Chain A
Amino acid sequence: MYGNTNLTEEEAKRMNSVQEDPQKLAEFEDRIARGEKIEPGDWMPSEYRKQLIRMIEQHAHSEIVGALPEGTWITRAPNFKRKLALIAKVQDEVGHGQLLYSAAETLGKTREEMLNDLLSGKSKYSNIFNYPAETWADIAVIGFLVDGAAIVNQTINSKGSYGPYCRALERICYEESFHLKQGHDNVVYLATGSKVQRDMLQAAINRWYRPLLHFFGPTDKQSAHSEKLMKWKVKLASNDDMRNQFLDMYVPKILELGITFPDPNLRKNADGVWEFSDPDWEEFKRVISGDGPCNAERIAVRKYAEEAGRWVRQALLNPTEKYTVPLA
């Protein structure tokens, strides 16, 4: 559901200080400038590898953890059709996690190492999944707007330079178009339903508004240092540009239902840029560093799954087999 890269100042400094073979670096950058893809066996700068692993891995974790708030509602879906759709969507998300772990694995970090880093807290996932899905309307809003935001991000990233990541994203975007449509369908049904349903939807929009603004990461002013990542086509659009594209596409689709956003300053200015109140970036930082409403529960559930399933994995191991890094 999510993949985004932001460098701290320190990381940007380190990135500029690494000495790479100038000829190989030039060939690598020429290839990217020509619009060609980088494949697993290619030479690549160590920082390119590192940033890609970090980004794809976080994206994979987000898919796996993102299945948890939605999974909450499978047992309580309001009818059979909605239940079928939700089960299929949750299965897709877990499948997307697998596709992304595989893409990251081609860069040399094993799936087990990535999962361990998720459990230890060393590696992050999208902040938005640290918020709870309180009512069925939250499921509608997640399916429509969180997946909508993810598709904006993923469609842009699928034009990136690393072949395996692009291929995974193409499949993911194709499958997520169903998530978006069923989410919209769900939102429209609630919006055109009884007063109770409309109120429930409005309350969910109010809850998810700020996390959705946080979704694309800090403002461009707060997160500079991405020039090299742009040049290497690891990052393809700035956080603010992606956020603006998202608001442009989805705000009208909520407003046309007579549902509002909890922000009197949300509007599109004469330059076509969306303006909004400060969505509390301090809260964003607080939640991402572990102090959100659901951080502890998400990790605890993942740890439980790993431990409870360990005997199965152990029973399946074949000690005569030797691991090889996958090809593509």
Chain B
Amino acid sequence: MNTSLDPRINRLDLKKIEEGEIITNSHLITWEVFHQEKRGKQAVHCGIVHAPSPDLALLLAKEQFARRGKTANLWVVKTSDVFTFKLEDEDIFETVPEKTFRDPGFYKVRDRIEKYRLENHLS
């Protein structure tokens, strides 16, 4: 008889346990989880789960990442199926903010219009 305050624990045969080591060379693979809050929104990466199959990965993702708030859908993708750049190559994106000709604010025509109208007596 165990002497725990938890009656459920007292019902277990704790003496039976031996080493209690879990199998180390048997990692379940991991799945990257994407959460879509509602229809019309992007699915956003929110974490991982360990699971042997997509079915179970989805089930665990539901328990882990859809316990609060709204959820329209969840996606799971095997970690090994995700391809990324190397983080140390971050500098390949560095010049993007300098390319202001891609921004709508780069194109300013009002001054030119006003000047033209003034010169050609268009008011």
Contact = CB atoms under 8 A, between A and B. Distances in A.
Interface in A38-94: 39-43, 68, 71-72, 75, 88, 91-92
Contacts of A134: 5
Interface stretch (B80-88, B94-102, B106-114): B80-88
A270 interface: no
Given A71-B6, A102-B48, A313-B26, A326 B32 contact: yes
A301 B14 contact: yes
A218 interface: no
Interface stretch (A112-120, A221-229, A277-285): A112-120
Nearest 3 CB-CB pairings of A with B: A303-B20, A72-B6, A41-B87
Nearest to A318: B52
A175 B67 CA distance: 9
B26 A301 contact: no
7 contacts: A41-B86, A99-B47, A105-B30, A111-B27, A113-B24, A120-B21, A310-B23
B117 interface: no
Interface of A: 39-43, 68, 71-72, 75, 88, 91-92, 95, 98-99, 102, 105, 110-113, 115-116, 119-120, 132-134, 167-168, 171, 174-175, 297, 300-304, 306-307, 310, 313-314, 316-318, 321-328
Interface of B: 2, 4-9, 12, 14, 16-24, 26-30, 32, 45, 47-50, 52-53, 56, 63-64, 67-68, 79-80, 82, 84, 86-88
A134 B5 CA distance: 7
A328 B33 CA distance: 10
Contacts of A168: 47
A contact patch SS = helix
A41 B20 contact: no
B48 A316 contact: no
Contacts of B45: 328
A300 B17 contact: yes
A313 B27 CA distance: 10
Contact of A324 (B12, B21, B53, B80): B80
A75 B84 CA distance: 47
A268 B112 CA distance: 68
Contacts of B24: 110, 112-113, 116
Contacts of B26: 112, 313-314, 317
A178 to B, nearest CB: 8
A171 B65 CA distance: 10
B86 A95 contact: no
Nearest to B49: A98
Given A297-B9, A304-B12, A307-B17, A324 B30 contact: yes
Given A175-B68, A324-B30, A307 B87 contact: no
A110 B27 contact: yes
Given A105-B30, A112-B24, A116-B24, 16 more contacts: A39-B87, A68-B6, A72-B8, A119-B21, A171-B47, A300-B14, A302-B20, A307-B17, A307-B20, A314-B23, A316-B56, A323-B29, A324-B29, A327-B79, A327-B84, A328-B48
A70 to B, nearest CB: 10
B7 to A, nearest CB: 7
